[in-house]
Structure 1
Amino acid sequence: MSATLGLIADTITFSNVDGPGNRFVVFLQGCNFDCIACHNPYTINVCNNCGDCVSSCPSEALGFSLGGAVEWRAEACRGTDVCITTCPWDSTPKARRGDVDDLLAEIRRAAPFLSGVTVSGGEATQQAEFVLALFAAIKADPDLARLTCFVDSNGATERCTWTSLLPVMDGAMIDLKCLDAEIHRSMTGQPNDQVLESIRYLGAVDRLYEVRLLLIPGMNDDPRLLDTTARWLADVDPAMRLKLIGFRQHGVRTGARRLEEPTPEQMQAYEAIFEERGLFRLCVI
């Protein structure tokens, strides 16, 4: 058994939107951002055992341990997710402590159909030691070594995190909420200096697979701001993969449902700005 444990929110055995090809995705619990438009808000915080979810569960799949911690009984769970919608702490009682060997067993079962493994979140780099141990184990396994190892990150981590991962990480996908520092802080609660540094560094060492921009009308879609962003990204690498994602209300917290979704015409206008600055590997969704 591996000595390094991770706090895992969930895993999915097949995804074609979390990196190249068919991917096994590990969602880690805990994030250093509090994004207004988060689509996985239950992965932000770690359960504080308040117990609000226990009595609300229609499956009676939740209880308390002798030590007072909330316990989830997977065999009784019917997947209603009432616990998640009840939680006042943006967390989930379903997160589990798991070691690398546990995940390797899951990955092996799906391996014939996989192109790689992606660790997401939450924020993957918050548990960098676990990510490093998992990727190293994959690369050392003769049956799994062909799988590419990717990180899906908000980029808010120190350079030393990336340097530690470089020997076993094939690529990273970085979310750039906004180039403007104040708007970025209003969207995430945090500054963006480390995010920008991560993009530059990963580009320089050829590990930047993709940059993703979530665009919200009236918040981070000003044409002049997008033009400045496009010029900045083109300076990093005009050949980078860039994904422009229109905000959608599905899955967000109640407070974010007041935000507008961009129209197809707006998305086309956003795309044109980036194309004009020479960014040609664009994907608009």
Structure 2
Amino acid sequence: MSKSWAIVNKLLPFSCVDGPGNRFVIFLQGCNFRCLNCHNPYTISLCKDCGDCVDTCPHQALSLKNNKVIWRADVCQQCDTCINTCSYNSTPMTYHYSVDDILKTIRKYLPFLTGITISGGEATLQLPFIQNLFNTIKQSDDLKHLTCFIDSNGYLAATGWQKVANVMDGAMIDLKAWNNQIHINLTGRDNKRVKQTIEYLSKINKLYEVRFLLIPKQTDLQDNAKNIANFIKNLNPAIKIRINAFHNHGVHGIAKTWEPATKQQVDIFATQLRHYGLEHITVPTIYL
């Protein structure tokens, strides 16, 4: 039987940037990448129940019982002291939601929603839950009109995507670097599977968007615009492309020293992609 509950970091009732229309977004806890530029590193790991954060909480919202860290959301002030204390890129502030819990919440906002997006962390680490949730939505008379999307780093194998292909309407995939070694340097993982995911999802018409994060002097995207464009164009030149601009607010470690991407740098990359045959390109409207 498919998993009926998930470890959730956050629910976002309304979003217009996580797929088409107005979407209910579920951010799952846990990620298999270790991106140097991660803006939400506390979503990477599951809580190890070490207890280091308990005594640091200024509002007594945390306790340690039976070797488990217990979080009281009702007294928490969201000061993030526990997140800043944690040395494992995690947080005790997570929820265990069942499929029924999620559906109940979705129905509160249903008149305003176009669809559901599962994000993270890395959503596909909790694939059985996604499969169960999407399948239930598609079988519910009042919910089946909602589109079901996954926002992913693309590292899931094709056999995994096949499990949700029939209940998923689309996916947004991040390609963080073209060169494999640069991708490993940035994320700790190679990009072979990511490219295979893009190819597979395009083949079954479930690839909604490919996303690129431009990090000056760190990513090799600008130098490989022709290779990237040819890769995408050979699959389907109508694939949507989204270019995001790196900013160093909220990042940690070495990424705090990295230069933010400028509008000029993003525009140059977009122009290169258009020159080589890609047309459906979205760029940021605001630069920090």
Shorter-chain-normalised TM-score: which range? over 0.9
1:200-247 Cα deviation digits (max 9, x unpaired): 000010000000001100011464323222221222211110001110
| Structure 1 residue runs without a partner (length 5+) | none
Give the conservation status (yes or no) of the 8 Å contact 2:211–2:242.
yes
Amino acid paired to 1:269 = I
Aligned partners of 1:199, 1:136: CA distance in 2, in Å?
23
Residue number in structure 2 paired with 1:245: 244
Match of 2:12 in 1: 12
What is the Cα deviation at residue 132 of structure 1? 0.3
Distance 1:241 1:222, change over 3 A: closer
Write the letter of the residue equivalent to 1:43: T
The corresponding residue for 1:284 is 283
Residue type of the partner of 1:17?
A: V
Matched residue of 1:268: which SS? helix
How far apart are residue 199 of structure 1 and its match? 0.1
2 CA distance for matches of 1:227 and 1:89?
Answer: 39
Matched, 1:46 2:46: yes
Q: Distance in 1 between matches of 2:41 and 2:80?
A: 13
TM-score, normalised by the number of residues in structure 2: 0.95
Paired residue for 1:128? Answer: 127
Secondary structure of the residue aligned to 1:53 is: coil
Q: In structure 1, what is the Cα distance between the partners aligned to 2:69 and 2:222?
A: 48
- Which residue is equivalent to 2:190? 191
Structure 2 CA distance for aligned equivalents of residues 24 and 199 of structure 1: 24
**Aligned pair in 2 of structure 1 residues 254, 223: CA closer, same or farther (>3 Å)?**
closer
Q: How big is the shift at 1:251?
A: 2.5
Question: Which amino acid in the other structure matches residue 59 of structure 2?
Answer: S
The whole-number CA distance in structure 2 between the counterparts of 1:170 and 1:42 is 29
- Please give the residue correspondences for 1:150-189 in structure 2 after superposition, counting only pairs within 5 Å: 150-189=149-188
Per-residue deviation at 1:266?
Answer: 1.0
Write the letter of the residue equivalent to 2:132: A
Runs (4+) of structure 1 exceeding 4 A deviation are none
Cross-structure match for 1:76: 75
Q: Give the superposition deviation at 1:166.
A: 1.0
Partner of 1:226: 225
| Aligned counterpart, 1:31 | 31
Cα distance in structure 1, aligned partners of 2:271 and 2:7: 41
RMSD: 1.3
- Indicate if the aligned counterparts of 2:3 and 2:128 stay in contact, CA closer than 8 A: no
Structure 1 residue 80: deviation in Å?
1.1
Q: Distance in 2 between matches of 1:105 and 1:163?
A: 27
Query: Share of identical aligned residues, percent?
Result: 45
Separation in structure 1 between the aligned mates of residue 94 and residue 45 of structure 2, nearest angstrom: 10
The aligned residue for residue 64 of structure 1 is: 64
Greater shift in the superposed pair: 88-97 or 246-255: 246-255
In structure 1, distance between residues paired with 2:78 and 2:206? 37
CA offset at residue 46 of structure 1?
A: 0.5
Contact 2:214 2:221 in 1 (8 A): no
Matched residues in 1 for 2:250 and 2:22: separation? 23
SS at match of 2:70: strand
Sort the Cα spacing of 1:33 and 1:26 in 2 relative to 1 into closer, same or farther, 3 A: same
In structure 2, C-alpha distance between the alignment counterparts of 1:49 and 1:237, rounded to whole Å = 46
Shift of 1:255: 2.9
SS in 1 for 2:149: strand
The corresponding residue for 1:272 is 271
**SS of equivalent to 1:138:** helix
Tell me the matched-pair count: 283
Task: Give me the whole-angstrom Cα distance separating, in 1, the residues matched to 2:180 and 2:14.
Answer: 35
Normalized against structure 1, the TM-score is what? Answer: 0.96
Letter in 2 for 1:163: Q
* Preserved CA contact (<8 Å) 2:177 2:220: no
Distance in 1 (CA, whole Å) between partners of 2:8 and 2:182 is 30
Which amino acid is 2:261 matched to?
P
**1:63-110 deviations in whole A, cap 9, x for unaligned?**
112x11111101001111121122111111011222101111111111
- 1:222–1:169 distance in 2 versus 1, CA, 3 Å: closer
CA gap 1:281/1:222 in 2 versus in 1, 3 angstroms: closer
For 2:114, give the aligned amino acid: S
Deviations 1:183-212 (A, max 9, x none): 000010001111000000000100000000
Q: Which residue of 2 aligns with 1:99?
A: 98
Q: What one-letter code is carried by the residue in structure 2 that aligns with 1:134?
A: L
